């Protein structure tokens, strides 16, 4: 049934990234299936690319997908190129509503409160019908009031906070985007294939991981449903490859069977996401290799027993090397390590242990004739995590530690990449910022180039100090997002307890933790 209006799905980034995003396909497909006309727009090198000019008479809403905080400025640039005021208060009756969603907006809506008309906090599927009904209201005010009555929808002008994050309880019953075809000439970042989400959320509880908390609880799709989606998805898309999508792929009990079904029964190529090292068994590595994947990514984060216990990631060197040996033994030729430095309380001994673990991995990969890669990144405190009170380590310290690790690994023959600490400052400032950060975002968006230096200049112009959002906070401080959003299974008391445990474990050099990690004796 046609609804008689359209929405513009704005992805403030390149088409190639958008068409690699399951959320993009889900929003576009689900609303289209409900009779809503969905147009799309993208930001290619800072320039808006849309199929048709925005017609405010028929466009009821601009839906903005925000997976990353740095995209806030891109959103502002795109809105201005659409002819819309970037400030919500500057829009009138004839303007479409600007509605934001995504992991960044869900974790901390505060920087967006003055920029958007509404924020969807959580997942779309539970409120899609209500959203469409609200947009059918004849007046702008009526649409906002109807949105404010929906669970998980925050409407800043009506101050209807706190709202409770909404999520799909039964993934098997949820609508799924089978049609993921990209237009001619658009090559998705991860290549062409059918994206199959096997699980959503994570039950591991790593204390630094925002995705693990804002998507709680973990929910799995059943083998029967996964097989059906896979068969139909590859048929609709004409695909010969499946791209599995989840935070921890092998935590789903159906993962082995759906991987086998894809590779052995359907003869598909298969790609699996970053893996928990303890899940990469000999048999699984063999199946991954038969699916055509030649590089696996393993994320031990640290080689330090103390830090591993504190962040609640009990992997350690023994398990990491076991996983690497399984991969190499089954013909996988590339191993990529994801490492983090700059954790609160991390000392020289911890850094040395991380370096030594990475060097052992590189040596094994090189001896096997493979390619070793490492991504070395600064720890960035994020909202709705047990480490949201931690500050970002000083830039010079992060640069020095990243450079030391990088030099050691490059000398050993690894290919090394990482995240620039200057950009980490931008990301953390936006992630942990309050309502005042909107002024910085608008100033930054209007500068000729968006760089870390211009971000700091924008903050000065806006009269906003970045020291608070980058620094460590008192444990009794309540961050602004907890006044706006209630997160099921990630309540303030629970996260505060995690932060207290983290500090206690680090101060005791691991002695305060009962977590057992193979190879860690202390």
Distance CA(34)–CA(331), nearest Å, equals: 46
Burial of 55 (0-12, 13-18, 19+ CB in 10 A): exposed
59 has pLDDT over 80:
yes
Task: Work out the average pLDDT over 24-29.
Answer: 97
- Distance separating alpha carbons of residues 292 and 286, to the nearest angstrom: 10
| Residue-wise pLDDT tens digits, 201-223 | 998 989 999 999 999 999 999 99
pLDDT of residue 51: 66
pLDDT digits (tens, 9 = 90+) for 429-462: 999 999 999 999 999 999 999 999 999 999 999 9
Summarised one tens digit per residue, pLDDT across range 155-190 is: 999 999 999 999 999 999 999 999 999 999 899 988
pLDDT above 80 (res 2): no
Which are the contacts of 301, defined by CB distance < 8 A and separation ≥ 6? Answer: 208, 307, 308, 311, 313, 315, 338, 339, 340
Reply yes or no: is the peptide bond before residue 162 cis, omega within 30 of 0.
yes
DSSP state at residue 502: H
Pairing of strands 47-50, 97-101: unpaired
- Using 50, 70 and 90 to split pLDDT, how confident is the model at 52? low
Q: Report angle CA 118, 123, 125 to the nearest 5 degrees.
A: 105
Strands 334-341 and 371-378: parallel
Tell which phi-psi region holds residue 252, choosing left (phi > 0), alpha (psi between -120 and 50) or beta: beta
Per-residue pLDDT reduced to its tens digit, 251-290: 999 999 999 999 999 999 999 988 999 999 999 999 999 9
| pLDDT in the model for residue 308 | 96
Cβ 133 vs Cβ 35: under 8 Å:
no
Residue 426 has pLDDT above 90, yes or no: yes
Q: Does domain 6-164 have CATH number 3.40.50?
A: yes
- What's the CA gap between 498 and 205, in Å, rounded? 10
Q: What are 219's strand-pairing partners?
A: 200
The confidence score (pLDDT) of residue 190 equals 82
Burial of 201 (0-12, 13-18, 19+ CB in 10 A): buried
What average pLDDT does range 192-204 have in this prediction?
Answer: 94
Q: What is the CA radius of gyration of the chain?
A: 23
For the chain, give the mean pLDDT: 95
pLDDT at 24 over 70: yes
Q: What is the pLDDT of residue 57?
A: 72
295-301 sheet: strands from edge to edge: 295-301, 334-341, 371-378, 415-418
Buried b (16+ CB within 10 A) or exposed e, 122-142: bbbbbbbebbbebbeeeebee
């Amino acid at each position: 049934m046609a609804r008689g209006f359209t929405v513009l799905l704005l992805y403030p980034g390149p088409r190639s990234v958008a068409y690699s995003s399951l959320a993009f396909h889900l929003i576009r497909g689900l609303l289209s299936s409900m009779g809503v006309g969905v147009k799309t727009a993208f930001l290619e090198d800072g320039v808006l690319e849309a199929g048709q000019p925005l017609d405010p008479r028929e466009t009821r809403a601009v839906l903005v997908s925000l997976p990353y905080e740095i995209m806030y400025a891109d959103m502002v640039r795109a809105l201005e190129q659409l002819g819309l005021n970037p400030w919500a208060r500057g829009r009138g009756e004839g303007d479409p509503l600007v509605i934001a969603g995504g992991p960044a907006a869900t974790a901390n809506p505060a920087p967006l409160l003055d920029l958007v008309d509404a924020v969807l906090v959580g997942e779309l599927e539970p409120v899609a019908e209500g959203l469409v009904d609200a947009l059918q209201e004849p007046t702008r005010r009526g649409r906002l009031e109807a949105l404010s009555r929906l669970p998980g929808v925050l409407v800043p002008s009506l101050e209807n906070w706190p709202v409770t994050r909404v999520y799909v309880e039964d993934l098997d019953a949820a609508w799924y985007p089978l049609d993921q075809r990209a237009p001619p000439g658009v090559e998705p970042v991860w290549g062409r294939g059918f994206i199959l989400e096997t699980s959503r959320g994570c039950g591991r509880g790593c204390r630094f991981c925002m995705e693990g908390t804002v998507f709680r609880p973990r929910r799995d799709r059943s083998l029967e449903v996964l097989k059906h989606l896979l068969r139909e998805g590859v048929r609709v898309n004409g695909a010969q490859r499946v791209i599995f999508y989840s935070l921890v792929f092998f935590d789903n009990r159906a993962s082995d069977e759906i991987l086998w079904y894809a590779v052995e029964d359907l003869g598909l190529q298969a790609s699996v996401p970053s893996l928990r090292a303890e899940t990469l068994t000999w048999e699984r590595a063999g199946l991954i290799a038969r699916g055509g994947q030649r590089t696996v990514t393993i994320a031990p984060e640290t080689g330090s027993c103390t830090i591993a216990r504190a962040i609640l990631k009990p992997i350690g060197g023994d398990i990491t090397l076991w996983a690497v040996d399984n991969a190499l033994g089954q013909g996988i030729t590339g191993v990529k390590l994801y490492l983090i430095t700059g954790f609160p309380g991390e000392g020289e001994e911890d850094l040395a242990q991380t370096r030594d673990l990475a060097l052992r991995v590189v040596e094994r990969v090189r001896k096997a004739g493979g390619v070793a890669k490492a991504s070395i990144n600064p720890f960035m405190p994020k909202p709705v995590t047990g480490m949201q009170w931690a500050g970002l380590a000083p830039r010079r310290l992060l640069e020095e530690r990243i450079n030391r690790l990088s030099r050691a690994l490059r000398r050993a023959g690894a290919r090394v990449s990482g995240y620039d600490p200057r950009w980490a400052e931008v990301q953390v400032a936006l992630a942990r910022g309050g309502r005042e950060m909107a002024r910085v975002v608008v100033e930054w968006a209007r500068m000729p180039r968006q760089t870390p230096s211009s971000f700091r200049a924008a903050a000065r112009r806006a009269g906003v100090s970045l020291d608070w959002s980058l620094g460590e906070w008192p444990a009794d401080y309540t961050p602004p997002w907890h006044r706006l959003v209630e997160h099921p299974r990630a309540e303030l008391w629970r996260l505060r307890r995690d932060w207290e445990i983290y500090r206690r474990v680090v101060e005791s050099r691991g002695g305060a933790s009962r977590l057992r990690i193979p190879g860690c004796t202390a």
